[in-house]
Structure 1
Amino acid sequence: MNELGIVWVKRALLGGALVLGLSGAGIACNAQKASEASAPPEASPASMPLGNAAEAKRETLAEAAEPLKAARELAAPTRDMAGGKGRAGAGGLLAPAPAATAAPGEGAARAAAPEAAGLDPNGRFATTYRPGGGHLAAFESAVARGIVPPDGRELVSDVGARYAPSIDVPKGSALALRTDLERTRVPPGGGPVHVRVALRSTAQAPAARPHLSVHLVLDVSGSMQGEPMARARDAARALVDRLDANDDFSLVTFSSGADVRIDDGPVGPRRAAIKATIDGIREGGGTNIGQGLALGYAQAARPGIPEGAVKVVLLLSDGRANAGITSSERLSRLALDAFQGGVQTSTFGLGADYDGALMSAIASDGAGGYYYLRDPDQIAPALATELDRRLDPVATAVELRVRLKPDVKLLQVYGSRRLNDVEAARVRTIEVAADAQSAKRDGIERDRQDDAEGGMRFFIPAFSRDDSHAMLFKLGLPAGADARAIAAIELKYKDRVAKKNVVDEAPLRVAYATGDADSAASVDPSVARTIQGFAAGETLAEAARQIALGDRARAAALLSEREGILHAAAEALGEPLFLKDAARLARLRGHAGAAGGLGDPLVLAMLLETASRTHLH
């Protein structure tokens, strides 16, 4: 490939063209023929959207057979911790929500209008962070049950870290902040440029384990009969065994009504009696989630619980609210009110028929985790994981703020959106509550009473130990010649290890190249990998949607397009790992044309969805 061709493909890859042309070499990649000769398109490649898939939210998957429950719930719009729309799934992971991918050539035209004006760069935006992993839980369960052949594992192996930046957390810090531009020198004419902002938390745990106040709210409706109820009892007993003698525990069960089976109090000498009560639980009746939550929150508010205790309500249900309060808004408001009083709420949806949007909303407003449990045998590990996560956040009340210079446009925030006034107010309520709880629990001075305006703001109630998160922005820069600042980035959080407030500031500066070739030569391979990782993940998710809708040809075309782009990226950016991902897409594309085995539509959709999550994580 000649120098002009390399320059063009680097701009195309980083600018986000879905249909990729290589000038000089005369190569184009599209859905019909990845190696078919073609000239570069007339439009400037640097102005094209990345993968076409991030311009709107995905549509909800069609109502397919039960094994596609995970994919349907992942595609359904649900609120994340900041109240925004995202994708909720196993283990509480919330990843960017891909949109329906346009046909080849449509994306650039569709995205041109909003990019010309830019987005409002001020206000609160939805965050996509959810702690830890867990995104392979439903898939592994399907393998264990024989729904997915074991050799499908290599097609969904966890490759997300391949696209993530390497960050060292300075000694004595709970979080590290890193910002990277896709290239160190932008074209003299300006134009679109991607910016990655990444966070990494320390592996060091807070010195003292806090007192736990755990309140299990358990669905015992008729649908829990049999194996689900047996596994729920096992999980509840295991949960009690994980608690220290001084920790508090209560148990509320609900069906058509709700009952307090075990009053709040230290586990201590009650451990055997608690487990005996759990063994006696029987199922039957409707699903009154509201009354169950109300009793659980009342137990968490009882006197005698030590100051500074970590209070958490764990809600497990396999159904939909059909008795008492059934409004999602009112039920999630209960969780928000409880969080203002110092109680977090985590939710666990079991099986194929639970209300995923409701469970996610309750967890979002309750500042807890949300888990999809495909099988009853996943209940105990999920409860244990969530209990550990309530213990180990190293930073709370985390706010990332990005202030752009007036002549810099915001073109896209991948996987996020600007929150409306109501949603922003809810986030502000959670922030104030987290500030107060930190002062009470960790002795860290309050510093969030005043709500400073300006810039894009992303709020994370708690950041787990030894975890990471990255965000990707697309900005529009003006023409220039001299190095300059384009944004100021501020990270504020409560450091639970050092017990102090922290404010880190990082100016974001760019230098201008002497020409396009000079700019293309300054590409940062790490950011290029991140861009390709997001794009590949969105393509895989959209292919899963097409399989669920019965359009195998469209799914294969999407995978072929992305496969070709990854091949070109491997050559242009010198990244051989792209070839491995391209080979994976080629194998998945081959299964799309098969009738059985991994080509079964139910199996294939799960494979594609899980592979998508490994990229977007």
Structure 2
Amino acid sequence: MNEHLSLSTAVVLVPRRPGLKDGTDNVVEVLVRIQAPAAPAGLGAERPPQALSLVIDRSGSMAGRPLEEARRCAEYVIGKLRPTDAVSLVQFDNRVQRLWPAVTLGDGAPLRAAIAGIHSGGNTHLHGGWREGADTLSDVAGQGLKRVILLSDGQANEGLTELTAIAAQCAEWAAKGITTSTYGLGNHFNEELMVAMARAGGGNHYYGDTAEDLMEPFQQELELLGNLCLRGLRIHATAPDGVQVQMVNELPGVEGGWRLPDLAWGAEAWAVLRLNVPVVALPATGGLLSVLRVTVQGQSLEGEPVQLERSSLALPVLAPSAWDGLTDDELVTRRLVELAAAEALTRMRAAAGRHDWAAVDRLLEVASRQFAGNEWVAAMLQAMKGIAEGRSRERMMKEAMYSSGKLRSRLVARDEELQFSAAAESLSVPAYLRRKPSQGKGDV
């Protein structure tokens, strides 16, 4: 299977324009597309066992509907796993309790009973709960997928609470093969902490605006885990001396490169690299310059290393008139628009954080005109306008952060339509590939 993945997973480099302009410095934007093959027959039977730890906040603010929905989501996870998968259960308020060790699921009845027994309590020892979940998975043998799924609606106010220190621990555990996905609920959780934990921990970050919006993020994660083909995906780029390389997506850095999302069968991970090519590096007009070489590495579901074939890009040096006649690649342009929209949302979030609603409104108006040609981004901005009109600082900051994160780092369908329809995608596209107008609202 690993050899099959190495040979059948394509690494494609697409420049915005297929040439370099003679006589001047060049900025070259390159879309890197890592394309997984279609799922092989019998995929479900071949998937190796997975190990998950469900870590659930039961602090006082979770009382009532939020905790009820959290229990329902946990039961959904159990229902989607196989009897041979391992699952642990941890609850936390100001105390951390391991309710169930990481053992094979079987029929799941004892674990469901433990989930049903979770009731609300006191404060939020978030770090302690997450750490206990990671500890439970360290007892699971093998190198298969191991992931902590952390759900909280509040601020870390017990034990270790400092973002940088917690994120560093998430990165340490990810390096040992135990990754972290986070789920925020409502308007009062610390989105910066939850996003940082998932980014450092090699998982995904989601949130639900209300308890009713919580189920869909769990469906996204479970569908993704059930269709993974490569995890721990890392991209490394090299360029000639004097050529500078920038990662436009702001993906998490790893040694010598950047980390991409885990890759599902039939899907595509992507990134945009921006190269600054000085005029002194250009050969004569008509000559070719090798501007970029990309290597991509990852792990199979069994934890074995997978090295994809290297991909290189060489571009011809063209006379200015010939270069001016080139057209921009449509898909590269579209990805750059999405990344520019992510930057605009980040600026809106900062303005909302200052309670500067005049600046938020102004930025929304400018962005709505600038990105009107991208239907998905336009739908996102329309959702943001609705939140801004309510002058809810916390909702605005959360939606802006999660939406900008989705624009910068997501899997796409290899045949993703340029036109966008939320209704059509909810019916025909897997949950983990959908383009949602609002990240905090469920559509199921």
TM > 0.5: yes
Distance 1:296 1:542, change over 3 A: closer
Shift of the alpha carbon at 1:561? Answer: 8.3
- Aligned ranges 1:297-312 → 2 under 5 Å: 297-302=134-139, 305-312=140-147
Query: Following superposition of structure 1 onto structure 2, how do residues 182-261 of structure 1 map, counting pairs within 5 Å?
Result: 182-205=16-39, 207=43, 208-261=46-99
Aligned to 1:387: 222
| Contact 1:287–1:319, Cα closer than 8 Å, also in 2 | yes
**Counterpart position of 2:161:** 326
Matching residue of 2:192: 357
Does the Cα contact within 8 Å between 1:201 and 1:464 map onto a contact in 2?
no
Alignment of 1:540-579 (within 5 A): 542=347, 549-550=355-356, 552=358, 555-556=361-362, 559-560=365-366, 563=369
Do structure 1's residue 296 and structure 2's residue 139 form an aligned pair?
no
Q: For residues 446-494 of structure 1, give each alpha carbon's deviation from its aligned partner in whole angstroms, at most 9, with x where no partner exists.
A: xxxxxxxxxx622337333313323141423315424222423122324
Q: Deviations over 1:393-429 (max 9, x none)?
A: 322343322222224345x542438x9xxxx6xx34x
Contact 1:173 1:202 (C-alpha < 8 Å) held by counterparts = no
CA–CA distance in 1 between the matches of 2:147 and 2:346? 33
Report the Cα offset of residue 511 of structure 1: 1.8
| Amino acid across the alignment from 1:272 | A
> Using the alignment, how far apart are the partners of 1:611 and 1:331 within structure 2?
23
Distance 2:146 2:364 in 1: 46
1:347–1:363 Cα contact (<8 Å) kept: yes
> 1:232 offset after TM fit, Å?
1.0
Alignment partner of 2:262: what SS? strand
d(CA) in 2 for partners of 1:540, 1:197: 22
Matched letter for residue 296 of structure 1: G
Partner residue of 2:204 out of 369, 377, 400: 369
- Alignment partner of 1:489 is 2:323: no
How far apart in 1 are the matches of 2:90 and 2:130? Answer: 8
Is residue 92–residue 124 contact of structure 2 (8 Å, CA) maintained in 1? yes
Q: Is the 8 A contact 1:397 1:459 kept in 2?
A: yes
Matches within 5 A, 1:68-87: none
Tell me, yes or no, if the aligned pair for 1:393 and 1:462 is still in contact at 8 Å.
yes
- Residue 521 of structure 1 corresponds to 325
1:372 alignment partner AA: Y
Cα deviation per residue 1:4-50 (whole Å; 9 max; x = unaligned)? xxxxxxxxxxxxxxxxxxxxxxxxxxxxxxxxxxxxxxxxxxxxxxx
Q: Secondary structure at the match of 1:229?
A: helix
Quote the sequence identity (%).
Answer: 21
Identify the match of residue 270 of structure 2 among 446, 449, 469: 469
Q: Secondary structure at the match of 2:309?
A: strand
- TM-aligned CA deviation for residue 308 of structure 1: 4.1
The counterpart of 2:306, out of the listed 501, 505, 521, is 501
Paired AA for residue 262 in structure 2: A
* Cα distance in 1 for residues equivalent to 2:144 and 2:311: 35
CA–CA distance in structure 1, aligned partners of residues 197 and 404 of structure 2: 25
CA deviations over 1:348-392 (Å, ceiling 9, x no partner): 111111122222232233222121222222333323322333343
Aligned partners of 1:329, 1:536: CA distance in 2, in Å?
A: 27
Q: What RMSD over aligned residues (CA atoms) do the two structures have, in Å?
A: 3.9
Match of 2:234 in 1: 399
Q: Which structure would you say has the larger Rg?
A: 1
Distance in 2 (CA, whole Å) between partners of 1:495 and 1:462 is 9
Distance 1:512 1:391, change over 3 A: same
Partner AA of 2:326 in structure 1: S
- Which residue identity does 1:387 align to in structure 2? L
**Residue correspondence of structure 1 range 29-108 to structure 2 within 5 A:** none
Superposition deviation, residue 222 in structure 1 = 0.8
Q: CA deviation at 1:244?
A: 1.8
Q: 2: distance between equivalents of 1:347 and 1:597?
A: 23
Q: Does the CA-based 8 Å contact 1:311-1:344 persist in structure 2?
A: yes
**Do the aligned partners of 2:231 and 2:299 also contact (CA within 8 Å) in 1?**
yes
Residues 599, 607 of structure 1: alpha-carbon distance in 2 compared, 3 angstrom cutoff: farther
Residue 258 (structure 2) pairs with residue 458 (structure 1): yes
TM-score after normalising by structure 1: 0.55
Amino acid at match of 1:521: G
Distance 1:534 1:600, change over 3 A: same
Distance 1:373 1:295, change over 3 A: same
Displacement of 1:292 after TM fit?
A: 1.8
1:175 to 9, 21, 27: 9
Which amino acid in structure 2 is aligned with residue 261 of structure 1? L
1:232-280 alpha-carbon deviations (Å, 9 max, x no partner): 11112222222222222221111111112223322224x2332222222
Taking structure 2 as the reference length, what is the TM-score of the superposition?
0.74
* Cα pair 1:186 1:510 within 8 Å, conserved: yes
**What letter matches 1:285 in structure 2?**
G
Hey, what's the Cα distance between the residues in 2 that align with 1:607 and 1:297? Answer: 26
Q: Tell me by how many angstroms 1:172 deviates.
A: 7.5
Q: 498-507 vs 607-616, which deviates more?
A: 607-616
Report how many aligned residue pairs link the two structures.
391
Preserved contact between residue 216 and residue 296 of structure 1 (Cα < 8 Å): yes
The change in CA–CA distance for 1:547 and 1:313 in structure 2 (over 3 A counts) is closer
SS at match of 2:260: strand
Structure 2 alignment gaps of length 5 or more? 411-444
Contact 1:483 1:509 in 2 (8 A): no
Letter in 1 for 2:243: V
Aligned-partner Cα distance in 2 for 1:406–1:285: 58
CA distance in 1, matches of 2:234, 2:396: 36
Larger relative contact order (C-alpha < 8 A, sep ≥ 6)? 1
Q: State the SS of the aligned residue for 1:250.
A: strand
Alpha carbons of structure 1 residues 189 and 503: separation in structure 2 relative to 1, 3 Å: same
Flag the 1:537–1:286 CA change in 2: closer, same or farther, 3 A.
Answer: closer
- Aligned positions of 1:146-157 closer than 5 A: none
Mapped contact 1:312–1:346 kept (Cα < 8 A): yes
* Alignment-mate amino acid for residue 287 of structure 2: A
